[in-house]
Amino acid sequence: MRKQLVMIGNGMAGVRCIEEILKRDTNQFDITIVGDEPHPNYNRIMLSNVLQGKTDIDEITMNEWAWYEDKGITLYSGEKVVHIDKQEKTISTDKHRTLPYDELIMATGSSAFILPLPGSDLEGVIGFRTIEDTQKMIQIAEKKSKAVVIGGGLLGLEAARGLMDQGMEVHVVHLLPTLMEQQLDEPAAQMLKKDLEKQGMNFLMEKQTAEIYGDSCVEGVTFKDGTSLACDLVVMAVGIRPNVALAKEAGLDVNRAIVVNDDMQTSEPSIYGVGECVEHEGNTYGLVAPLYEQGIALSDYLTGNPGEGYKGSVLSTQLKVAGCDLFSAGKIHEDDTTDAIVVHDAVGNEYKKVLVSDNKIVGIVLYGDASDGTRLFSMLKKGTDISDLETATILQKPGGEDLEAFISEMPADETVCGCNGVTKGNIVQSILEQDLKTFEDVKTCTKAGASCGKCRPMVEGVLSNTLGDDYDASAQKTGMCECTELDRDEVIAQIKEKEMQTPAEVRHVLEFSNPGGCSTCRPALNYYMRMLYPETYEDDKASRFVNERMEGNIQNDGTFSVIPRMYGGTTTADELIRMGEVAKKYDVPLVKVTGASRIGLYGVKKEDLPHVWEELGMRSGYAYSKSLRNVKSCVGERFCRFGTKDSLGLGMLIEKETEMVDTPHKMKMGVTGCPRNCSEVLTKDYGVVCVENGYHIYVGGNGGTEVREGDFLTTVTTEEDVINLAKSYMQYYRETGIYGERTASWIERLGVDNVKEVLFDEQQNEALVARFQQSRQTHEEAWGMMIQDDEKKKLFEVARK
């Protein structure tokens, strides 16, 4: 009979422990997870990338909802455990649910520490720990302009960079004279500060905040020296506090955090702990690598294969801020027991320092080029005797045979990917057992390199060392998902050749390892089938993501946003009245003009969604979908003295002609009335610049921290040419793009010259437009939104007037 294993917390450390348990034994436990956030397990360390605009929230999910179902795990999300009964061995939740357990894992994590200052309870004072925190900062940045980040440590600088990327003016307030004082010495910290100042970040060093002032919302901060600074947002990044209230109430031993032994066992034999909420040998950890090490030790113990247990961790740090590459580990500052090896290249903006004691590395600080961090950190952890090495050799990055020798000598338990706690042994075992051939294979299977990606050279080195002559460094083949080794092109070719008609048939015939598919291939196959057979394939709504199924983006509290389509940001008096009436009737807490020039209703309850859409009587703006989201346009020649053409009307026409058709990822377009580019079209998937002699077309642009300016495609002379080219471009992207791939990556993968060759071929272009029109018609029919030609002409005339 299976034991009941219950885990409190659905974060990275806890779920990694569950993954490791399932690797060892899938039949020992019935597993239940209770998490107080309304999300599946997500990569918390990637929140800074979300804030910086590098990725979307839905792309940092580590285990989709379907994963829990596939693994037979019962998940209660958005639900908080309020009591543990050790005698009865049950837990109780705030939704009056009582769950029995045989073994209980505490994975309650930590919370951002909010300084107990006057005004710290004002609206606009936020920590930086959760998706909700990140979404709040992004929402405030859309309306406000000035932010203060209190804390110049790792998290504070990542938050500050992200808020800058959201368009805010940011001041970082730090109590000490140097940044990241726990990870960097003074020279490296000054280099970091200088680089961040060049990016536009402002610093107030050796400042202590006395008060946050404002009526109901933040208006500014006052410092103990009597000065003040106006702001609209205050982000606290001064540390974390382990969540231990539940453990204390249950009578478990708690110091700073929940006390555990080497087997991660608490003072109660059937209760265990992992993650930021636990204290081991007097130490708590906030970085992911040691938390994963704890999860592995606990999974060994719970499945009856106890090893040495958890023995503590040596920490290393990297910063995820654009243009700043740093690594540190161990001791940072010299003392009487250490000697320093230092290389400071001011011209090349690189700094390397290694601290040595008794012929062993005890500390590392790297800035400007941190690629050698893994090698030096390995020597630190192993206590390598460096007495036979020359000073230059220690700081010289190995290459060629030296790098191969280094990787070959790495022990199996050496961590290669610090972000996800993946060791060399994990990678080697997966390569041999799963027949992995490429970096992408390893990343998908083990998560090595799936976060910051800085470990890629090491992962590829392990691949080369393991496969020997069978390793092809140029191979880029990537299986569609963990269910198959076939990549996207191979799967589609097989679908066409064998005329398969359903995703279930595809998985069966192509021998996917999981007959039911996974959270990666289910939506992908649904998209590919719909793209290949637009007239006959019936869309499988169950395979779509929850946002698409509900026709609204899920919010941090489990409610949804409803964003109707408003072509070119225009609407009518009747539509405005209806939106207002619906918002009042359903107690919608926020009605907001969005960045895409539409009106959004935020906070709609799930059960109200069908009624809200029905009563609005407006078609969806698809703000949640993998399709065209919007076409941003300026007012053009209608009002602007610089406008050369009617960019507003053209933008509305493009949107009406290309909406509703599924694409591999979301698409955004833009039309600007002149080269001044008020609509920011050069960072759109498809951008149009109106000029005197026609229209310049740009493709493959992308915003965010890693901005990609669109490639110039061509100049056309008529609006019809612009629209037809948009259709053929979208269809070519639909037919050759990998599901989940933005056009920026797609353009770089195919090459803009290849795209031009296809689109400029008259026969191929006409065929692409025809197939697009066929798909568009079936999409319109499927959603019950078919517009007749005469009605469409009337709409276009209204748009023109």
DSSP letter string, 546-613: HHHHHTSEE-TTS-EEE-B--GGG---HHHHHHHHHHHHHTT-SEEEE-TTS-EEEEEE-GGGHHHHH
Same-domain pairing of 692 and 775: yes
Q: Which pLDDT belongs to residue 101?
A: 97
C-alpha count within 13 angstroms, C-beta hemisphere, residue 8: 30
Q: Are strands 667-672 and 686-691 parallel, antiparallel or unpaired?
A: parallel
Same-domain pairing of 621 and 658: no
C-alpha count within 13 angstroms, C-beta hemisphere, residue 771: 19
Q: Which pLDDT belongs to residue 678?
A: 85
> Rounded CA gap, 234 and 159, in Å?
11
Q: Judge if pTM exceeds 0.75.
A: no
Q: Which pLDDT belongs to residue 375?
A: 78
> Rounded CA gap, 420 and 181, in Å?
25
Residue 186 counted as domain residue: yes
Q: Which pLDDT belongs to residue 394?
A: 66
Q: Which pLDDT belongs to residue 323?
A: 60
Residue 119 counted as domain residue: no
DSSP 493: H
Same-domain pairing of 773 and 641: yes
Domain-terminating residue out of 302, 331, 353? 302
Domain-terminating residue out of 606, 625, 644? 625
Ligand-binding site membership of 634 (annotated):
yes
Domain-terminating residue out of 544, 559, 584? 544
Same-domain pairing of 76 and 94: yes
Host domain of residue 200: 125-238
Q: Which pLDDT belongs to residue 452?
A: 59
Q: What angle do CA 155, 556, 703 make, to 5 degrees?
A: 60
Same-domain pairing of 676 and 694: yes
Residue 779 counted as domain residue: yes
Q: Is 200 left (phi over 0), alpha (psi -120 to 50) or beta?
A: left
CA distances from 86 to 89, 248, 252, 278 (A): 5, 12, 10, 18
Residue 464 counted as domain residue: no
Residue 421 counted as domain residue: no
Residue 607 counted as domain residue: yes
Ranges of residues in the chain with a pLDDT under 50 are: 398-401, 476-477, 783-801
Same-domain pairing of 150 and 201: yes
Q: Are strands 360-367 and 326-330 parallel, antiparallel or unpaired?
A: antiparallel
**All residues at 6 or more sequence positions from 433 whose CB lies less than 8 Å from its CB, including other chains:** none
Q: Which two tokens stand for residue 95?
A: 């939704």
Ligand-binding site membership of 678 (annotated):
yes
Ligand-binding site membership of 640 (annotated):
yes
Same-domain pairing of 780 and 686: yes
Ligand-binding site membership of 419 (annotated):
no
Q: Are strands 711-716 and 694-699 parallel, antiparallel or unpaired?
A: antiparallel
DSSP 352: E
Q: Is the dihedral of CA 432, 438, 441, 447 positive or negative?
A: positive
Same-domain pairing of 156 and 74: no
C-alpha count within 13 angstroms, C-beta hemisphere, residue 322: 22
Describe the chain by its helix, strand, coil percentages, rounded to 5. 35, 20, 40
Contact 726, 699 (CB under 8 A): no
Residue 453 counted as domain residue: no
Residue 694 counted as domain residue: yes
Same-domain pairing of 229 and 286: no
Q: Is 56 left (phi over 0), alpha (psi -120 to 50) or beta?
A: beta
CA distances from 632 to 320, 456, 576, 711, 726 (A): 31, 37, 20, 18, 14
Residue 143: strand, helix, or coil: helix
Same-domain pairing of 592 and 703: no
CA distances from 396 to 49, 341, 457, 656, 793 (A): 31, 12, 16, 59, 69
CA distances from 458 to 207, 375, 673 (A): 41, 9, 48
CATH code for the domain of 176: 3.50.50.60
Same-domain pairing of 675 and 775: yes
Same-domain pairing of 497 and 608: no
> Into how many domains does the chain fold?
5
